[in-house]
A and B are shown apart, each in its own frame.
Chain A
Amino acid sequence: MKPNKRGRKTASTLLTATLAGTMLISACSNSGGNEKANESTGGEAASGGKASTLKVEVFDRGNSPAGSSITKNYLTQFVQDKFGTPNNINVQFVPIPRSEEVQKLNVLMASGSDVPDIVFTYDSGTFYRYAQQGGLTDLGELLDQYGPNLKKFLGDETLAYGQYEGKQFALPAKRSHLGKYSSFVRQDWLEKLSLPVPTTTDELYATLKAFKEKDPGQTGGKVIPLGMSLAPAQYEPLIWSFIEPVTDEQRYTLTQQLGSRDYPVLLPGFKEALQFMNKLYNEGLMSADFSLDEDKKKLNEDAAKGLVGFFSEDDMNPFYPDGLYATLQKNIPDAKLSAVDVYTNSEGKHPKPEYAPIGMFLMIPKSSQHAVEAIKYLDWMASEGNLFDMQNGVEGENYTLQDGVPIVKADAADEVKNRIYNYGDMAIISNGKQLGDADKNVEAYVVGMPEAFQEETRKALSVSRSDTIKPVLFDRPIEAQAKYGTALLDKFNEIIVKTTMVKPDQFESTFESVMKDYMANGGQAILDERTKAYEAMK
């Protein structure tokens, strides 16, 4: 069987024909798809009397309770009944998987269709990118025209965060409680050793030493005087307390914003903070495997087992039902955890970062045909107690009011409780409950905790709000931050881990080399741009 040249040629022609044919098929279906897409948008625009459709993004965390779904539940129905139907608008919720939110949003934006009319993200980098690339609707006039309540609710301070080159391209949600961190000590250990509650960093060091030497918890040498992890809640309170008081200029130019946080890498005092961590680590006063513990799992485990003497944490994290404190008390019934404010700066204050007064960035893509309806929706949410109803459910069934603070009814049936299971993702104009003033907002958190822990929660929350450092806000975006931010976050962690874990005599050289690496990979670019931006702003 020896096919000649012609045979070969015919065969390959056949193949080519097949290929061409399939290309054609795909080309046809391509245009088919587009036509359909055009048709539907055209149809919507043309229909005057018919209900228009407003598509709103919602985070899907896969935690919808039985009997409801992320797109069909009490709150979606509430929105439709109270806002949609009266305004002849069909509100449709588009689920976006929480964990891949930015990536999915990117793809939807790039595809130009299927984009919800209201999208949001916590990631300021994504917001700046969209704004810079010209993909967002300027909301300034729309807000004046259709969103008076919304504008009043958010306020100028919050709105400033949603501006890009002077234009209102996003509406940041308003954050109700700005406190971030508190610290906690094993009160029962202090009592056992007849030690006072530490009030300064030096006293804390002495306390940690005593914990290590005397092992009041009888852990058999496993005691971890200072619980540490590679999460900001653990290292930020320590590091920021070492930062020297700075001028405005230093604050603006030397701070580095990576992701949503400000980092003090170049501020005076940063090196001393690391040196202190190095000392604690090498003297065995701190969690040995902290560098592996990015999700605080190990820290929580150690603390729950009663091995940890002192640690910093997100303000009220230990107090949740079945949380850290509850577990600790199950393991060690007479364990007592107290909220304390310890780390001190050179002025005797207890500085620690606070949140920017914002939550998510709410955006309306330029391609949206329903920007007006979108603003109307958000305005509706901001008016006449609608936000309150979305966050709290039905009075008498979900909560009772006491001095203007809603007390959640713990004995309500699951179906009732589940009504508002994702109110944080649905009531998008606010992060946290808004009850009129900051103290009431905080009180709402306190009464949400188990009764036995409410007093300590109150204390922890007030610690988190005292002597706080506000994030630095420029009037213009710093592009280098968007570009290098995520990469530098990893480098920042490397700085902490490497300088903390080296032998003390190698601290200097290690610090120098990691800082050099940090600066070369974008740190310098951010510094230069911030310096320039500060000059221009002055």
Chain B
Amino acid sequence: MAILSLAWKSLLNRRFTALLTVVAIALSVALLVGVERLRTEARESFANTLSGTDLIVGARSGPVQLLLYAVFRIGDATNNISWKSYQDIADLPKVAWAVPISLGDSHRGFRVLGTTPAYFEHYRYARDRELEITDGQRFSDLYDAVLGAEVAEKLGYRIGGSIIVAHGASDVSFARHDDKPFQVVGILARTGTPVDRTVHVSLEAIEAIHVDWQSGAPIPGMSISAEQARALDLTPKAITAALVGLKSKIATFQVQRFVNDYPEEPLSAILPGVALSQLWNLIGIAENALLIVSAFVVVVGLFGMLTALLTSLNERRREMAILRSVGARPGHVFALIMGEAGVLTLLGVLCGLSLLYLLLLAGQPIIESRFGIFIAIGGLSPYEWILLGTVVAAGFLVGSIPSYRAYRLSLADGLSVRI
């Protein structure tokens, strides 16, 4: 205790260099834990791009491929599902709800998704958050469209605006459904998921714009106007995929087996969480690199402390001799420098954590609205405790270098002061 209070007073005496050392350690610790926190939250947020959905059903393919086109709107479906198959699955007693989705068209680079109003009820992301409409309402008329946040922002659309849907993923003039324009009736809040980059219309609308089309081109000589189309039966013949919610999660594998063994058509059912983490493993390598870089920043911070303590030793040899003269053992001298290293490291870690939590509190709303990543401000996770423990242990390890040097010096100098 006596030695610790000496160490504390000694640091106070050199408070400027001590403060700089603490700041360096604090910044590096804030960076390390901050990167770890962001990384976890990004992974969590990615894994929850689609939550609340128990199964995704599509034409037979690999899970990642189905996930890519059904959720991330990347690439195209290998095949469609017939409306009858969809209904068979939706009517299973264990199925609580099913939302059909139909993809294929686009608007100025953004995918158009045909679905039912149930989509807005059952789509969940980031730990069970619902889609929110910031402006306007859900689609109710045949030619209504609800835009994702990014679509509205990038293209500058407002409620009441008119948009033309193009056939296929690329927007070329000869393949536009320009006879049946849509009206923007709603704009969604930002989610940080592919929903932001999607134009949502009703399933019937997808059917309506294609009634006079065949094999990706308008049927020559046949033209059905937007108003005439309203009178037709617009029940789709096929959809791209379906999101399925079950009454009980216990039935997941049972329903999955039913879909995979469906006799009339080759289908696949995938668990979105499993497929999402498979996908993250492919793209999540960068996060590890980030964590390694921030670990090196901590090492640099601790080297700052090492330099500060080592350079102070020579001018402190007289102090060591005085301490020896009043009865301090070389071990006390070791403990004194070790105590200083310990105080610097612990203060650095504490300040770093406080700084991080301040930043999180200030940045939480901004990160959420910009990137759709919701960062929960909770206690430290076990992994973060391990990281902090490692930093403190490394601090003591680094501190033992100048401490040992001081020990050797005071052993050699004794009571004589050599400078």
Same complex: no
